[in-house]
């Protein structure tokens, strides 16, 4: 069963790829006409304009319930503040050593597309968690692709400083961003979560543009000991289960009695949940309680699973956090709900899923910049380095490489 959970990231994108390839090719070939056709076919509507520069974001924010407007504004500010700290760690640098000047120049991407889902999942928070970070990184132009944008999404776009909304969703929106059309400019990178068609489209356009990741179903791993509150754990598990029938709510504990209490608490909470059908399907299909023999096994299993969200309901939570090396985000201590990270804490909630936390990272400022290496040799430094360069080049059978060095050093020695 543990092996089955480790392989949860293996998706069935291949199943939809033929249809997605057709959409990508049509948009590349026909531009706006194809995008409009697919919006009519899949979204059952006719957009007045595909690209909305004036999307009414300020008016949308003013029209929201004041409490919601204030919450979105505060969330945007906290996300901005966190990523301004992160940006300070993502700076250009140069240094000189022995006549060689080396460095890295960091520059923001020119244009980025942010995908914001429609349908079941109209999440203004996802706009903030992508677009605010892009703006902090210095991205010149941000386009949000979202089908029939709600007032909440438009307000979030305004708070994040989004330049335009692409009024389309699905693979057709990804195609327009990746290839460009008569009205939609081509972007350098596409970020943000979406359904299986969006994920497949992002995977297929990677290389023509950059992407953040291929997002799978949401997941939470609660690590708990006998000090934990079963009802609070159940609430945390359901906070992810209600996202999607395919979500993974997982409990990992050393206490079998706690696992039984959590199961009972889940039944009570499910009965009163507005999105009960979705959450119940998630719990039944992918909900697991894993009982480990000891704390060492607990940590080892957590690192094997490499979950998107890892919540630590344990004594000495900071100590345990230091040993969990594979996690998209760690929620440390029983008073830290995963929902805080989804909305207001500050770090992006766009996280690696399906075990990708073994090598992946949360979306951050570093995802919206490109780096250029800077290399400058003085004449004296090249003469000193020449023997090693030429030896390595000839060892690899690349004589022209060696001669590109010797043609310089020979002139230096004659001079």
The pLDDT of residue 7: 78
- Is 309 catalytic? The answer is yes
**Element containing residue 310 per DSSP (H, E):** strand 309-313
- SS3 at position 166: strand
| Pairwise CA distance, residues 130 & 191, whole Å | 7
Q: Does pLDDT of 415 surpass 60?
A: no
The pLDDT of residue 52: 96
Structure tokens at 402: 């060696």
Region 252-256 average pLDDT: 96
> Which range among 50-54, 193-197, 270-274, 356-360 shows the weakest confidence by mean pLDDT?
193-197
Cα-Cα end-to-end distance for the chain: 72
Region 142-160 average pLDDT: 97
Angle CA(50)–CA(52)–CA(55) in degrees, nearest 5? 140
Q: Residues 179, 309, 326, 349: which is the catalytic one?
A: 309
Q: Does pLDDT of 132 surpass 90?
A: yes
Query: Same CATH fold, 217-359 and 13-213?
Result: yes
**Element containing residue 311 per DSSP (H, E):** strand 309-313
Which candidate, 155, 181, 138, places its Cα nearest to that of 37?
A: 181
Q: What percent of the chain has pLDDT over 70?
A: 98
- Span 81-118, pLDDT tens digits: 999 999 999 999 999 999 999 999 999 999 999 999 87
| Pairwise CA distance, residues 111 & 150, whole Å | 23
pLDDT band at 12 (very low <50, low <70, confident <90, very high): confident
pTM higher than 0.85 = yes
pLDDT band at 13 (very low <50, low <70, confident <90, very high): confident
Find out whether 190 and 201 touch, Cβ atoms under 8 Å: no
- SS3 at position 324: coil
Region 371-384 average pLDDT: 98
Total Cβ atoms within 10 A of residue 231: 15
| Pairwise CA distance, residues 385 & 394, whole Å | 15
| Pairwise CA distance, residues 185 & 169, whole Å | 16
Neighbouring residues of 164: CB distance < 8 A, sequence distance ≥ 6 = 51, 52, 53, 55, 141, 143, 144
Beta strand 219-224 with 51-52 is: unpaired
Angle CA(188)–CA(167)–CA(351) in degrees, nearest 5? 55
Structure tokens at 370: 């490109």
The pLDDT of residue 81: 98
Region 34-53 average pLDDT: 94
| Pairwise CA distance, residues 172 & 204, whole Å | 12
Which candidate, 61, 402, 366, 45, places its Cα nearest to that of 210?
A: 366
Region 247-254 average pLDDT: 97
Which candidate, 60, 166, 64, places its Cα nearest to that of 116?
A: 166
- Span 313-343, pLDDT tens digits: 999 999 999 999 999 999 999 999 999 999 9
Query: Please, what is the average pLDDT of the chain?
Result: 95
- Is 308 catalytic? The answer is yes
| Pairwise CA distance, residues 41 & 203, whole Å | 23
| Pairwise CA distance, residues 46 & 304, whole Å | 47
The pLDDT of residue 119: 62
- Span 158-171, pLDDT tens digits: 999 999 999 999 99
Q: Does pLDDT of 413 surpass 70?
A: no
Domain positions in the chain: 13-213, 217-359, 378-414
- The DSSP secondary structure of 52-109, one letter per residue, reads ESS--HHHHHHHS-HHHHHHHHHHHHHHHHHHHHHHTTS--EEEEETTEEEEEEEEE-
Domain 13-213 has CATH 3.40.50.10490: no
The pLDDT of residue 267: 97
CATH of 217-359, one of 2.40.50.100, 1.25.40.10, 3.40.50.1980, 3.30.1330.10: 3.40.50.1980
What's CA 295's distance to the chain center, in Å?
A: 30
| Pairwise CA distance, residues 184 & 176, whole Å | 6
- Span 48-60, pLDDT tens digits: 899 999 999 999 9
Angle CA(279)–CA(313)–CA(330) in degrees, nearest 5? 80
Residue 2 β-bridge partners: none
Q: Residues 219, 242, 280, 308: which is the catalytic one?
A: 308
Region 358-382 average pLDDT: 97
Question: Phi and psi at residue 412, in whole multiples of 5°?
Answer: -65, -45
| Pairwise CA distance, residues 75 & 70, whole Å | 8
- SS3 at position 233: helix
Distances (CA, A) of 327 to 106, 290, 301: 27, 17, 12
Rg (CA), the chain: 25
Structure-token match 């992407």, residue found: 211
The pLDDT of residue 1: 73
Structure tokens at 1: 């069963």
The pLDDT of residue 356: 94
Region 352-365 average pLDDT: 96
Region 203-218 average pLDDT: 94
């Amino acid at each position: 069963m543990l092996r089955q959970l480790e392989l949860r990231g293996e998706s069935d994108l291949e199943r939809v790829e033929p249809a997605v390839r057709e959409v990508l090719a049509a948009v590349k070939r026909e531009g706006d006409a194809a995008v409009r056709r697919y919006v009519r076919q899949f979204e059952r509507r006719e957009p007045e304009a595909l690209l909305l520069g004036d999307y009414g974001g300020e008016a949308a924010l003013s029209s929201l319930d004041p409490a919601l407007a204030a919450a979105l504004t505060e969330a945007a500010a906290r996300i901005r503040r966190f990523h301004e700290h992160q940006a300070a760690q993502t700076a250009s640098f140069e240094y000189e050593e022995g006549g060689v000047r080396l460095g890295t120049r960091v520059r923001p991407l020119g244009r980025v597309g942010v995908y914001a889902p429609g349908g079941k999942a109209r999440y203004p928070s996802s706009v903030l968690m992508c677009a605010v970070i892009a703006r902090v990184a210095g991205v010149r132009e941000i386009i949000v692709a979202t089908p029939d944008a709600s007032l909440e999404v438009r307000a979030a776009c305004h708070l994040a400083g989004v330049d335009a909304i692409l009024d389309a969703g699905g693979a057709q929106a990804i195609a327009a961003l990746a290839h460009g059309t008569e009205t939609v400019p081509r972007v350098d990178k596409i970020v943000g979560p979406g359904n299986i068609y969006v994920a497949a489209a992002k995977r297929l356009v990677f290389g023509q543009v950059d992407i953040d990741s291929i997002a799978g179903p949401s997941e939470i791993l609660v690590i708990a000991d006998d000090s934990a509150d079963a009802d609070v754990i159940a609430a945390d598990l359901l906070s992810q289960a209600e996202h999607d029938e395919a979500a993974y709510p997982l409990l990992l504990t050393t206490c079998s009695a706690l696992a039984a209490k959590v199961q009972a608490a889940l039944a009570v909470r499910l009965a009163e949940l507005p999105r009960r059908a979705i959450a119940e399907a998630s719990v039944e299909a992918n909900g697991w309680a894993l009982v480990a023999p000891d704390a060492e096994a607990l940590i080892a299993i957590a690192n094997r699973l490499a979950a998107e969200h890892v919540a630590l309901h344990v004594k000495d939570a900071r100590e345990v956090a230091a040993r969990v090396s594979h996690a998209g985000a760690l929620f440390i201590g029983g008073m830290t709900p995963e929902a805080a990270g989804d909305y207001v804490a500050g770090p992006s909630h766009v996280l690696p899923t399906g075990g990708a936390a073994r090598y992946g990272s949360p979306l951050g400022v570093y995802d919206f910049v490109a780096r250029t290496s800077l290399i400058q040799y003085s004449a004296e430094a090249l003469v000193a380095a020449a023997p090693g360069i030429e030896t390595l080049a000839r060892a690899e059978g690349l004589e022209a490489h060696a001669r590109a060095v010797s043609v310089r050093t020979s002139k230096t020695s004659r001079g």
